[in-house]
Amino acid sequence: MTTNHDDTDDGTDGQRDDRDRTASTPGGGEAPEPEPIEPAAPAEFGLVQAWWGGGKGKTTAAMGMGFRAAGHGYRVHMLQFMKGGADSVEGVRGEYNAIAAVPGFTYENAGHYGWHGLLDGSADDEHEAKATAAFDRAEALVAAAGEADLTAPFPLDGDPEDGVHMLILDELLYAADRGLVEPGSVVRLVESKPEGLELVLTGSHDEPDYLDGVADLITNVRKVAHPFDDGQRARRGTEY
pLDDT digits (tens, 9 = 90+) for 70-122: 999 999 999 999 865 455 555 667 889 999 999 999 999 885 444 544 444 44
Q: Which of 14-23, 172-181, 184-193 has the lowest mean pLDDT?
A: 14-23
Q: What is the pLDDT of residues 32-64, one digit of tens each?
A: 788 999 999 999 999 999 999 999 999 999 999
Q: How far is CA 182 from CA 141, 162, 179, in A?
A: 18, 27, 6
- What pLDDT score was predicted for residue 83? 65
Helix (H, G, I), strand (E, B) or coil at 235: coil
pLDDT at site 90: 59
* Beta strands 198-202 and 48-52, pairing class: parallel
Please state, for a pLDDT cut of 70, what percent of the chain lies above it: 80
Whether the per-residue pLDDT at 208 is higher than 90: the answer is yes
pLDDT above 90: residue 201: yes
In this prediction, residue 11 has a pLDDT band, given cuts at 50, 70 and 90, of: low
Q: What is the mean pLDDT of residues 7-22?
A: 57
pLDDT at position 25: 73
Identify whether the C-beta of residue 50 lies closer than 8 Å to the C-beta of residue 141: no
Specify the pLDDT at position 30: 80
Residue 220 clears pLDDT 70, i.e. is over it:
yes
**Is the predicted pLDDT of residue 31 greater than 60, yes or no?**
yes
Q: Which among 81, 104, 41 is positioned nearest to 181, based on CA atoms? A: 81
Helix (H) or strand (E) holding 105: strand 105-109
pTM exceeds 0.75 for this model: yes
Domains of the chain (ranges, CATH numbers)? 42-230 (3.40.50.300)
Amino acid at 29: G
Q: What percent of the chain has pLDDT over 90?
A: 62
- Residue 13: pLDDT band (50, 70, 90) is low
For the chain, give the mean pLDDT: 85
**How far, in Å, CA of 5 to CA of 116, rounded?**
83
Give yes or no for residue 1 having a pLDDT over 70: no
- Model pLDDT for residues 112-167, shown as the tens digit of each residue: 444 544 444 445 667 788 899 999 999 999 999 999 999 999 999 999 999 999 99
204-238 exposure pattern, b = at least 16 Cβ within 10 A, e = fewer: beeebebbeeebeebeebeeeeeeeeeeeeeeeee
Q: What is the DSSP letter of 28?
A: G
Strand-pair partners of 51: 202, 219
